[in-house]
Amino acid sequence: MIALRHVSKTFEGRRALDDVSLRVATGTTHVLLGSTGSGKSTILKLVLGLVRPDAGEVHVEPAARIGYVVQDGALFPHLTVARNATLPARAAGWSADAQASRLDALTKVVALEPALLDRFPHQLSSGQRQRAGLLRALILDPPLLLLDEPLGSLDPIARAELQEHLVAVIGELGKTVVVVTHDVREAFVFGATITLLNRGRVVQQGTFEELARRPAEPFVAEFLRAQAPPPAMTQYL
Amino acid sequence: MSRRSVVAIVGVLLAVSACGEWRPDLPIIRVGSKSFTESYIVAEIVAQIIDETGEAHAERRLGLGGTGILYTALAAGDIDVYPEYTGTIGQAILKDPSATSVEVLRDRLKPLGLTLGTALGFDNTYALALRRDRAQHLAVRTISDLARHPALTAAFDPGFLEREDGWPGLRRHYGLRLADVRIMEHALTYAALASGRVDLIDVFSTDGQLERLDLTLLVDDRRFFPDYKAVLLARQSMPARHPRTWAALEQRLAGRLDTAAMSRLNALVDLERRSFADVAAAFLQRAGPARGADRQLVRLTLEHLGLVTVALTVAVLVGLPLGILAARRRRLAQLELMGVSVLQTIPGLALLAFMIPLFGIGKLPALVALSLYALLPIVRNTVAGLGSLDPRLLEMTAVLGIQGWRRLAWIELPMASITILAGIKTSAVLTVGTATLAAFIGGGGYGTLIVTGLALNDVATILAGAIPSALMALAIHGAFEALDRVLVPRALRRLPLD
């Protein structure tokens, strides 16, 4: 369970979050939607404990072990995929056997070819790097999973494929998941609940349908419409 | 090359440098000398007499840079005996120009724990020299005559320029003025005079060069220069512990070496290019020592490599933690970088000289100075390498629960390894060059040849030290390229540095 109550945060005089409250129930998926600078990544950093709020409260339960996946994987360039993925387990003092069997099980979950485990990050495609990043995030089986623009750096085909796979994996694992994206379609595919942010403020919270049907402000409709394909185009697809 | 073999090679180098020279089971008498021909020859004669007597083994610490260094070394017990001059003892050591006779000096040295042997017989006093043609043209015969020629130029040895019994006192005594006075190593002043670049130089009355060049020595008509009788200056413990050796030195040397004889010995080295050991043996009417040049090169190479390896190892062991600490605290980083940069601006020779009061002479002070000198590139590159890591990856490290030494060992140091190793490589190459200065304080290495070559004004000997030193720098550069392949993670070597 994640709860933010009236949280504000300022970075070097710029207000990143302004009185933000939101709640993510255990076992649900929540999408933070907004454009660059809307404050959505700052919420993840607050949840991770990387930054502290200026005002308000951040409550994360259980506090330990959060899986974190970012754009392009953020793999360590000097380590193989396997070494990257097992780092948290090594730091936690797991035996080599335990690491290996967990790695084996997770390669199937994230659909990463086992042959890629001995490769270095620069030898992988963006999609493979993202799967490796997910693998690393899952290695300690965290109850919370935070995905920050997980599909941001992928080409359209890899993006569609991994998006579908991610949704399926999340459904199977039954974890509490927060996905940060600027992409309305991704929000639609991932999210039972969506929080739309603009300039550090929560504009509206609800299902995609609620946002689309009953926009709280003109900004909501404007934001959703801006990314919709032109109606004239959809007839060909 | 595997990681293990690199460790093994470094280990062997450390061991070799630690052993130093081979010594037989006899007690050791350390013989020092200044870095000019005559001092080398007399010290070599002393060393050969010590070895011949068989009571002790002579260890040669020749070519040390000047009275200050030698006196400090003698007082500290780093050397036991060296040839000195009565005038220098009175002026530069006792700071009392009125003390001139050997007996008075010996009494005055007693409270300092030092003693003097009987005068050797030659008097090496300062003199001013002009080319004969120039002297005749100017009608200059005495030092007083110089007062009539204020347009003359001179090149003086640094010692002569500074000492009260040198140029400052002489100038006042005679009321002299010269148009231009340059500082120049003694060995180089003859060339400057011969080529006509200067009119006047300071010489010693026993210089071997006097025979070759057609020079006029100006008469000290108002008797300014004190006596410079050659004597052996020793720690009192030396005659006490090695009475037979001291007696042998007195018997073979006291009054046996007059000014003309010394001048001839100097000429044998300076002009005929014979070795100090050879000339000393000839004087003692012994067969020359069979010390091969190649064996000497091997010894100097090991010494030099030892200096570089130990200094670099220490610099890495100190510099890396300093760099890591500085990378964590910005203010500390500025302080540290300022500190090591200041160290770098101190001329190498001056830094070596600063070490003498603290560590005496020999390998230890040289190693300390070289280590300090090697710090800057290592600290700077460690700070730069750790400071330029991708903040996104560091954030991820924290999220993954990797902290403390694991963060350093698993993530930060490997990712910064290219930059850090580049700093160590720079340091290593730099240290090979700087280590040649170690010879000035008896640290050994290739610099020994360079110091000797400078004393002899012999370019071949200088190059015999300088070329191997340059080759070693190249070899070490190559070795580090190989080390990069072992220590830098495979994947990082292929990546462009972004």
Same domain, A37 and A153: yes
- Give pLDDT, residue A75: 94
| Closest alpha carbon to A87 in A59, A68, A71, A72 | A68
The parent domain of residue A115 ranges over 80-142
pLDDT in tens, B426-449: 999 999 999 998 888 878 899 888
Final residue of a structural domain among A142, A161, A183: A142
> Residue B440: its pLDDT value, please?
82
State the pLDDT at residue B290. Answer: 47
| B424 has pLDDT over 90 | yes
Residue B159: per-residue pLDDT: 84
Spatial distance between the Cα atoms of A213 and A206, rounded to a whole number of angstroms: 11
Instruction: Report chain B residues touching chain A, CB-CB < 8 A.
Output: 392-393, 395-396, 398-403, 406, 410-411, 414-415, 489-492, 494-495
For strands A193-198 and A29-33, give the pairing.
Answer: parallel
pLDDT at B239: 92
> In 3D, which of B209, B194, B276, B203 has the Cα closest to residue B453?
B276
CATH code of the domain containing A181:
3.40.50.300
Is the distance from CB of B410 to CB of A80 less than 8 angstroms?
no
A154 falls within a domain: yes
pLDDT (mean) for B226-236? 90
What is the Cα–Cα distance from B436 to B449, expressed in whole angstroms? Answer: 9
pLDDT value of position B495: 52
Whether residues A184 and A85 fall in one domain: no
Radius of gyration of chain B (CA): 27
For range B243-253, the mean pLDDT: 91
Do A87 and A53 reside in the same domain of the chain?
Answer: no
Mean pLDDT of B165-170: 89
Residue whose entry in the numeric block shows the structure tokens 């997770």? A106
Query: B176-219 pLDDT, tens per residue?
Result: 988 888 888 877 888 888 888 899 999 988 887 776 778 888 88
Give CA separation, A196 vs A2, A45, A78, B9, B10, in Å: 17, 17, 38, 63, 61
- Name the average pLDDT for chain B: 85
pLDDT of B292 higher than 80: no
CA dihedral A2, A8, A12, A13 (to 10 degrees): 160
The residue ranking higher by pLDDT, B272 or A69, is A69
**Two structure tokens written together for B193:** 């005079």
Q: Do B399 and A48 touch (CB under 8 A)?
A: yes
Share of chain B above pLDDT 90, in %: 39
Rounded distance, CA A200 to CA B380, Å?
40
State the pLDDT at residue B286: 64
Q: By a Cβ cutoff of 8 Å, what residues of chain A touch chain B?
A: 48, 50, 65-66, 68, 70, 74, 76-80, 87-88, 91-92, 120-122, 136
Q: Tens of pLDDT along B310-330?
A: 999 999 999 999 999 988 887
Q: Do B402 and A77 touch (CB under 8 A)?
A: no
A77: nearest CB among B399, B410, B492 = B492
- Pick the residue of A50, A84, A87 with the most B CBs within 10 A to test the interface with B by mutation: A87
Tell me what the mean pLDDT of segment A79-83 comes to. 94
In this structure, the answer to whether residues A121 and A151 fall within a common structural domain is: no
Cα B396 from Cα B232, distance rounded (Å): 71
| Contacts for A219 with CB less than 8 Å, ≥ 6 apart | A198, A203
The more confident residue out of B105 and B493 is: B105
Predicted pLDDT of residue B23: 46
Residues B365-380 pLDDT 10s: 899 999 998 999 999 9
Q: Round to whole Å and give the CA distance between A41 and B185.
A: 69
> Based on C-alpha coordinates, what's the Rg of chain A?
18
Give the end of a domain, one of A142, A166, A191. A142
Tell which of A142, A172, A190 closes a domain.
Answer: A142
Residue A198 sits in the same domain as residue A217: yes
Residue A127 sits in the same domain as residue A159: no
Which tokens hold the place of B56? Answer: 């002790």
Does A71 map to a domain? Answer: no
Tell me if residue B79 falls in helix, strand or coil: coil
State whether residue B130 is helix, strand or coil. strand
Which positions in chain B touch A79 (Cβ < 8 Å)? 489, 491
pLDDT, residue B172, reads 92
If asked whether residues A157 and A175 sit together in one domain, one would say yes
> Do the domain assignments include residue A74?
no
Q: Do A27 and A48 lie in a common domain? A: yes
Determine the average pLDDT of the residues in A203-217.
Answer: 92
Average pLDDT over residues B17-26: 53
**What is the arithmetic mean of pLDDT over B133-144?**
91
Kindly report which listed range (A47-56, A79-88, B104-113, B292-301) carries the lowest average pLDDT score: B292-301
Rounded mean pLDDT, B242-261: 88
The Cα–Cα gap between A20 and A2 comes to 13
B28 in helix, strand or coil?
strand
Q: CB atoms < 10 A from the CB of B143, how many?
A: 20
Q: Are residues A124 and A89 in the same domain?
A: yes
Q: What is the pLDDT of residue A7?
A: 93
CB B455 within 8 A of CB B63: yes
When mean pLDDT is compared across A46-60, B129-143, B287-301, the lowest value belongs to: B287-301
Rounded CA-CA distance A62/A2 in Å is 9
Q: Domain for residue A70, yes or no? A: no
CA distances, B151 to each of B144, B180, B199, B217, B290 (Å): 15, 8, 10, 19, 51
Prediction ipTM score:
0.88
CA nearest to A206, candidates A223, A187, A185, A225 = A187
Question: Is the pLDDT reported for residue B154 higher than 50?
Answer: yes
State how many domains chain A has: 2
What's the DSSP call for residue B220?
Answer: -
Q: How many CB pairs under 8 A join A and B?
A: 49
Which pLDDT does position B284 carry in this prediction?
Answer: 86
Within-domain flag for A125:
yes
Both A151 and A216 in one domain: the answer is yes
Which among A92, A120, A122 has CB closest to B401? Answer: A92
Q: In a 3-state reduction of DSSP, which class is residue B185?
A: coil
Q: What is the pLDDT of residue B223?
A: 85
Q: Residue B323 has which token pair?
A: 């760099």
Q: In sequence order, what are the residues at sequence separation of 6 or more whose Cβ sits closer than 8 angstroms to the Cβ of residue B409? A: none
Domain check: are A55 and A149 in the same one?
yes
Do the chains contact at A68 and B490, CB–CB below 8 Å? no
Q: B374 with B430: CB under 8 angstroms? A: yes
Q: Would residue A166 count as lying in a domain?
A: yes
Residue B126 has a pLDDT of 86
Tens digit of each residue's pLDDT (9 = 90 or more) over A27-66: 899 999 998 888 898 999 999 988 999 999 999 987 668 9
Q: Note the pLDDT of residue A231.
A: 80
Nearest to B438 by CA among B422, B425, B449: B449
pLDDT value for B363: 85
A121 & A178 share domain: no
Better-predicted residue by pLDDT, B221 or B12:
B221
- Looking at residue B85, its pLDDT comes to 92
**Whole-structure pTM value:** 0.68
Task: Judge whether A6 lies within some domain.
Answer: yes
Question: For residue B8, what pLDDT band results from cuts at 50, 70 and 90?
Answer: low
Helices (H), chain A: 40-48, 81-91, 96-109, 126-138, 156-173, 184-190, 208-213, 218-226, 231-234
Between B396, B401, B403, which is nearest A74 by CB? B396
Contact between A169 and A161 under an 8 Å Cβ cutoff? The reply is: no
Give the pLDDT confidence score for residue B21 in this predicted structure. 44
Domain-embedded: residue A236 = no
The predicted structure's pLDDT at residue B217: 85
**Amino acid, res. A104:** D
The predicted pLDDT at position B68 comes to 85
> What per-residue confidence (pLDDT) applies to A210?
92
The pLDDT tens digits for A168-194 are 888 888 889 999 999 898 899 887 799
Please report, for residues A99, B63, B442, B466, B487, the alpha-carbon distance to residue B452 in angstroms, rounded to integers and kept in the order given.
64, 7, 12, 12, 40
Q: Per-residue pLDDT averaged across B95-109, rounded?
A: 88
pLDDT tens digit string along A96-154? 999 999 999 999 888 899 999 999 999 999 889 999 999 999 999 899 999 998 887 77
- The pLDDT confidence band at residue B1, using thresholds 50, 70 and 90, is very low
